[in-house]
Amino acid sequence: MIDLYTASTPNGWKVSIALEELGIPYRVTAIDLAKNVQKEPWFLAINPNGRVPAIVDRANGDFAVFESGAILLYLCDQFDTRGRLLPREAKARSRVEQWLMFQMSGVGPMQGQANVFHRYFPERLPSVIARYQNETRRLYGVLDAQLARTPYLAGDYSIADIASYGWLSIHAWAGISLDGLPHLQRWMSDLGARPAVQRGVAVPQPLVLPKDDRVTEELAATARSIIQR
């Protein structure tokens, strides 16, 4: 049994989608980021960085794993015996790992900063916002070019696709358009139709991003308090 500690975030969805795709039994503990639960001593014993997601593998000596990419690799190494989401052959595995690292080092950090400065930062800094939005859009273009050649990022469906999907699904929240990226749009549609993906993005509860400006400011104030901790 896997214990999953998570919130409704793109990084959290990586793990819940993978668990659903692999059919691994798991229990969910929702972490209330607004209440700073991720900084409580009991959680820091699982993830010293005080972020979600994290897992504990109860069947493997209560082994804790943090960092979403590391969790994906661990789950595949432990449970994906057929190599459905992470191939066993060295070159095929490397291709998946390369696109996984592309998300972790590029798409996630750049889009994350676009979110912060576009939505949450108290001052409007147009040049900073443009920097992160433009770089995120450039990275989207890299994905689109790859998806023009292959149906999924590493050829077959894998954790590389799972890792990127959650972030791309909230592209509009960062002020970034998918216009002119037809292959990326096709890929988004294909992944969004998968039942395991649909179940995974509803863990621990569906995310509804507000459109009303007043509610958005309330959310922004909460987000600012979280990212400053």
Query: What residues contact residue 100 under an 8 Å CB cut-off, 6+ apart?
Result: 69, 72, 73, 159, 160, 163
Q: Give 129's pLDDT tier (boundaries 50, 70, 90).
A: very high
**What count of Cα atoms within 13 Å lies in the side-chain half-sphere of residue 176?**
28
Instruction: State the Cα–Cα distance between residues 157 and 175, nearest whole angstrom.
Output: 27
Domain boundary assignment for the chain:
2-79, 90-194
pLDDT digits (tens, 9 = 90+) for 172-189: 999 999 999 999 999 999
Name residues whose C-beta falls within 8 Å of residue 113's C-beta, 6 or more positions apart in sequence.
132
Of 60, 91, 224, 228, nearest to 154 (Cα)?
A: 91
Pick among 1.10.3720.10, 3.30.465.10, 1.20.1050.10, 3.40.50.1820: CATH of 90-194: 1.20.1050.10
pLDDT tens sequence across 29-69:
999 998 999 999 999 999 999 999 999 999 999 999 999 99
Domain 2-79 falls in which CATH fold?
Answer: Glutaredoxin (3.40.30)
pTM of this prediction exceeds 0.85: yes
Query: Cα dihedral angle (109, 70, 25, 16), rounded to 10 degrees?
Result: 10
Beta carbons within 10 angstroms of residue 229's beta carbon: 9
163 by DSSP, 3-state: which? helix
